[in-house]
Amino acid sequence: MSFRLVEPYAIRHRRIDALILHQRTDIRAQTGTQDFVGTAPLNLIYVARGERMQDVSPEARRLYASVDTGFIGQNVYLFCASEGLATVFRGAVDYQTLAKTMKLGVGQFVTFAQTVGYPKI
């Protein structure tokens, strides 16, 4: 799986150097069960494109997508640390409700979410 298979909610990758708007609705509050997600400056939602994983059994797709999402999340952690930002990688997500809100297609599914913001001092 490549990074092109994981998409933030507000934008989608069309090419490596171009992003297109996915939806204009502010769905931050729906990206997790914690109180802070609705007011955080940024919530990344990682969406796997299961239909593109032809060489992986349908049963194993969530596992492979979750591992790749973990790698991406770690890169976000490293970037945030270098820029003085705070971040938390979250599995506390109502996956089905969020997928419906995002109008995900067949074979697409949310793996995790990640909040990025400013550290409390």
Helix (H) or strand (E) holding 69: helix 61-83
CATH of the domain at 15: 3.40.109.10
Residues in the chain with pLDDT values less than 70: 1-20
Q: How many domains does the chain have?
A: 1
83 exposure class (CB count in 10 Å sphere: 0-12, 13-18, 19+)? exposed
Sign of CA dihedral 57, 59, 60, 62: positive
Residues in a beta bridge with 112: 46
Contacts of 78 (CB under 8 A, 6+ apart): none
Q: Give the per-residue pLDDT at 5.
A: 43
The pLDDT assigned to 3 comes to 39
Look at residues 7, 37, 20, 21 and name the one whose alpha carbon lies nearest to residue 99: 7
- Model pLDDT for residues 55-65, shown as the tens digit of each residue: 888 888 888 89
State which residues form the domain around 99.
Answer: 3-117
